[in-house]
Structure 1
């Protein structure tokens, strides 16, 4: 399997049609998309229940930061060929069908076949702040596993890219991430 991980946002719907938006690192293997969602998770349960997902390719890093800080409602539109939803802000999307499931107690491997792909807008490139927000979102998603010193040092380094290259969307997303770190730490102090 290719070990390169690409940061995307996966949208799924439950059997009842309730949408779910989640940032997810994916791998590409041949013509398939490899998803490895944690169990339990809405993403895993929705894909198993419906057999479908949508891979959203986007540069609006507020979606990444928002999802890990409790902002999970984003404008969606219906997928073209599957029962599902895609992000309205996606530059492109890939509609997926579950082709194979390799179960695991913690992280099953879901091999997803590409059913339909559309480009909605050109990709003009990332600015460094967008990459910093994505990396910051990964840190925030792992606050319960990382030492405070590691989080502080990495956030301080990422702050350089925010200061130099961020537009308003990246500044907003970065603020959400910094607030999430502060809330996490306040919760730890209260628990003591």
Structure 2
């Protein structure tokens, strides 16, 4: 099973890096599989640690894929890293081994501490919709326009019916990113057509 989480790492000088990432874990073993090049990968290799954050604040997912990566963090206690300030739980991890796949290496991590930071208040369909929307935005250049449009239309139903202010803001950021991407694509196509004439 893949859990949608936010991974926090730090550079050797202590600068935080925040990245949404699906992670696998079973018991005390977590596996992170970032696509290279990756600041998360570089930071884990250089510092030997990371923190997996379990959060329902989907603005972090939407924010990171739309260029909003500055989220409040606080230090953790068992590894030299940080966690999100607003998270339900977090796992503090140490690097055990690296599977050296050239495109998507597996960072095998051991959980040193698993901490509960806030109560879980239940599931919300709009939160799941925002996470799916963030995945779509991260793949705009790879998926057909029609697929993006149909997925957004379906996900918009959950946003309209169940979103609170955080989910609405996150969805707005994602829709702005989609609109900017397709506006730029259309402008580039016009320029290409004009140059061919």
Normalising by the smaller structure, the TM-score range is over 0.9
Q: Using the TM superposition, give the Cα deviation of residue 190 of structure 1 relative to its aligned residue in structure 2, in angstroms.
A: 2.4
SS across alignment from 1:63 = helix
1:132 to 115, 129, 133: 129
Aligned counterpart, 1:181: 178
Where does the alignment leave 5 or more consecutive residues of structure 1 unmatched? Answer: none
Q: TM-score, normalised by structure 2?
A: 0.94
Aligned counterpart, 2:163: 166
Q: Using the TM superposition, give the Cα deviation of residue 30 of structure 1 relative to its aligned residue in structure 2, in angstroms.
A: 4.3
SS across alignment from 2:146 = helix
Residues 98-109 of structure 1 mapped to structure 2, 5 A cutoff = 98-109=95-106
Where does the alignment leave 5 or more consecutive residues of structure 2 unmatched? Answer: 190-197
Could you give the per-residue CA deviations for residues 42-92 of structure 1, whole angstroms, max 9, x where no partner exists?
001100110100000010000000000000000000111111110000111
Please give the alpha-carbon distance, in whole angstroms, between the structure 1 residues aligned to 2:37 and 2:182: 25
Residue 140 of structure 2 is aligned to residue 143 of structure 1: yes
* Larger of the two Rg values belongs to structure: 2
Question: Aligned pairs, how many?
Answer: 189
Please give the alpha-carbon distance, in whole angstroms, between the structure 2 residues aligned to 1:30 and 1:18: 29
Q: TM-score, normalised by structure 1?
A: 0.96
Please give the alpha-carbon distance, in whole angstroms, between the structure 2 residues aligned to 1:6 and 1:126: 14
SS across alignment from 2:104 = coil
Give the aligned CA root-mean-square deviation in angstroms. Answer: 0.8
